[in-house]
Amino acid sequence: MFKHFIFIFVLLFSNLFVVQSQSPEKEYKNKVLQLELLIKGGDTNAMVELGNLYYYGYSKNDENITNYKKAYFWFEKAAFKKHITAMYNLGYFYENGIKVNLNPKKSISWYEKSAEAGNPLAMLALIKIYKDESSSFQNIERAKMWTSTLINTTENLNISFTKEDDFETILLHFNKYGIFTPKLLLELRNISSN
């Protein structure tokens, strides 16, 4: 009896320290199933999260497995339901030709919709497009307008800025972290004063 007790105790105790992990592929598939259930209930955030899951994919044998076509599908569904991140993502797809033809007009249109709904990242994308001297879409007045709107948005969030960096670095940082850094507002202020 005592031997059985020790065996059971050791078995239970050892399970506390064993990390049971799934393969990245299995975790990915489970997450897809969870999100699909939420989507059936009309959850647009789940649509965007599923789009992100397909966009970023998972690693398998040192290869990243993605599905941009499905990502686009879910971003588009959510965008037509006025989800501001989904609208931004469609702008990004059209700007960069990801599973769609490059289409600056559609890109700007989606960025504008997202920015008008209050997405600072879309505002930043529009500033970049409208400030680009090599673009037929250059529009300094629109760039200044969106810069002003973006600055007001960040000031409403009580964010202060003190350092300087180039615009592309700021854009990459903002894309990566989705946050404003001290470097960002200074650059935006420089753009708006030009």
Express each pLDDT in 122-136 by its tens digit.
998 998 899 888 889
Q: Is residue 13 part of a domain?
A: no
Query: Is 124 inside a domain boundary?
Result: yes
User: What stretches in the chain show pLDDT beneath 70?
Assistant: 1-21, 154-194
Q: Which of 77, 73, 28, 78 is nearest to 53 (CA)?
A: 28
Q: Is 2 contained in some domain?
A: no
- 85 with 134, same domain: the answer is no
Residue 169 lies in a domain: yes
Q: Answer whether 161's CB lies under 8 Å from 174's CB.
A: no
Q: Does one domain contain both 189 and 124?
A: yes
Boundary-marking domain end, from 73, 90, 107:
90
Do 30 and 85 share a domain, yes or no?
A: yes
Give 100's DSSP letter.
S
Q: Are residues 81 and 136 in the same domain?
A: no
pLDDT at 189: 54
Domain shared by 135 and 73, yes or no:
no
Q: In total, how many domains does the chain have?
A: 2
Q: What is the pLDDT of residue 147?
A: 82
Which residue carries 């490059």 as its tokens? 102
Rounded Cα distance, 41 and 27, in Å:
22
pTM of the shown model: 0.71
Domain holding 52, by residue range, is 20-90
The answer to whether residue 47 is domain-embedded is yes
Does residue 14 sit within a domain? no
pLDDT digits (tens, 9 = 90+) for 8-44: 444 444 444 444 567 888 888 999 999 999 999 999 9
pLDDT of residue 109: 97
**Do 176 and 126 share a domain, yes or no?**
yes
b or e along 129-152 (b: 16 or more beta carbons within 10 Å of the residue's beta carbon)?
Answer: bbbeeeeeeebeebbbbbbebbbe
Position 7 in a domain: no
Domain assignment present for residue 126? The answer is yes
63 and 133 belong to one structural domain: no
- Domain co-membership, 70 together with 130: no
